[in-house]
Amino acid sequence: MYKNLVPRVAAIHDLSGFGRSSLTVIIPVLSTMGIQVCPLPTAVLSTHSAFPDFHFRDLTDDLTPMIDHWKRLSLRFDAIYSGYMGSAKQIDIVRGFIRDFQHSDQLIVVDPVLGDNGKLYLSFSQEMVEKMKELVCDAKVITPNLTEAALLLDEDYTENLTEKELKDWALRLSAFGPQTVIITSAPVADKRGKTSVVAYNSIDNRYWKVVCDYMPANYPGTGDAFASVITGSLIQGDSLPIAIDRAVQFISIAVRATFGYNYQPSEGILLEKVLSSLNAPVQLSSYQLLD
Ligand code: PXL
């Protein structure tokens, strides 16, 4: 069996022309981390869906012929990484892709992109939530934010969750199938101005937490950057807590590089200014092992 000279990822996400989200974030992050990205675009949009009047081209009918071509080429992927889906129907196609291209030692990351701040994204309905519940079953790693975790678990969205409840949500999500669950935008009880990432690994039954400062600005695409750093870091062989630490540090640096400007948050974090920090050694690691 041949080995890829550079680790290779199949990236199943949309391409939004403006606003720094999805593939326009995923490709530079993973390329900077030394990973080849092969996009399988689920949709093409003029901008991400937070801008009014965006143009949307669903590529559901193009996925199967593109996948069939990759099969004829016998492509081998070290990781499969999915995110924003163009339609609920695509999820069966993506599940078929995972079945057909799966091999041992392969990383399968599903970022169950559905919503944020307690709300579904504009382009989605409950049907997408139900199909996403199926897709997460095929993943080894999932990276929901708090809103997506609530939607997948049929829980009401609340920011009043204790650490014990967050651990319970992560455990219940891993019962869908993934070995590793990473919940972002997790509240930190009694600490206003802080946010956290809580993770669970069912292989060793350990929970991890990384806390960082909360910045009062909403930049679309930060979830894509976060999940991309997690994917790149795990491909590079990092442990789960180090992968989370690297992703949190990268987002923190990117948000700080952006926040001081008088700038439209809908244009996304100023990724281009901070990409090179991905190649710096991990600075001060701050993860905690939870009881
Ligand atoms: O960042 C997630 C995302 C991806 N793709 C599109 C989006 C969003 C979030 O708004 O609109 C098209």
pLDDT tens column, 220-278: 999 999 999 999 999 999 999 999 999 999 999 999 999 999 999 999 999 999 999 99
What distance in angstroms lies between residue 89's CA and the mean position of ligand 1's atoms? 18
Q: What is the pLDDT of residues 164-185, one digit of tens each?
A: 999 999 999 999 999 999 999 9
Q: Residue 15 in contact with residue 43, Cβ under 8 Å?
A: yes
50 Cα nearest atom in ligand 1: 10
Tell me, using a 6 A CB cutoff, whether residue 14 lines ligand 1: yes
Ligand 1 atom showing the smallest separation from residue 21 Cα:
1
| 24 CB within 6 A, ligand 1 | no
d(CA 15, CA 41): 6
Check if 16 has its Cβ closer than 6 Å to any atom of ligand 1. yes
pLDDT at position 241 is 97
Which pLDDT score is estimated for 70?
98
19 C-beta closer than 6 A to ligand 1: no
* pLDDT, tens digit, 9 for 90 and up, residues 51-75: 999 999 999 999 999 999 999 999 9
Cα–Cα distance measured from residue 132 to residue 90, given in angstroms and rounded to the nearest whole number: 10
pLDDT above 90 for 98 = yes
Q: Write down the architecture of domain 8-290 according to CATH.
A: 3-Layer(aba) Sandwich (3.40)
Confidence label for 191 from pLDDT (cuts 50, 70 and 90): confident
Q: Where do the domains of the chain lie?
A: 8-290
220 lines ligand 1 (CB under 6 A): yes
For the entire predicted model, the pTM comes to 0.97
Atom of ligand 1 at shortest range from CA of 16: 12
Query: What pLDDT score was predicted for residue 270?
Result: 98
- pLDDT over threshold 90, residue 289: yes
> Which residues are CB-neighbours of 142 under 8 A, at least 6 positions away?
109, 110, 111, 112, 136, 173, 178, 180, 181, 182
Q: What is the mean pLDDT of the chain?
A: 96
184 CB near ligand 1 (under 6 Å)? no
Of 42, 49, 269, the residue with max ligand 1 atoms within 8 A of its CB, to mutate for a pocket test, comes to 49
Answer yes or no: is pLDDT of 122 > 90.
no
Instruction: Please work out whether the CB of residue 250 comes within 6 Å of at least one atom of ligand 1.
Output: no
Ligand 1 midpoint to CA 3 (Å)? 33
Cα 125 to chain centroid distance, Å, stands at: 20
Query: In this predicted model, what pLDDT tens digit does every residue of 124-158 receive, in sequence order?
Result: 999 999 999 999 999 999 999 999 999 999 999 99
DSSP states along the chain? ----SS-EEEEE--EEEESS-THHHHHHHHHHTT-EEEE--SEEEEE-TTSTT--EEE-HHHHHHHHHHHHHTT---SEEEE---S-TTHHHHHHHHHHHH--TT-EEEE----EETTEE-TT--HHHHHHHHHHGGG-SEE--BHHHHHHHHTPPP-S---HHHHHHHHHHHHTTS-SEEEEEEEE-TT-TTEEEEEEEETTTTEEEEEEEEPPS---TTHHHHHHHHHHHHHHTT--HHHHHHHHHHHHHHHHHHHHTS---GGG---HHHHGGGGGSPP-S---EEE-
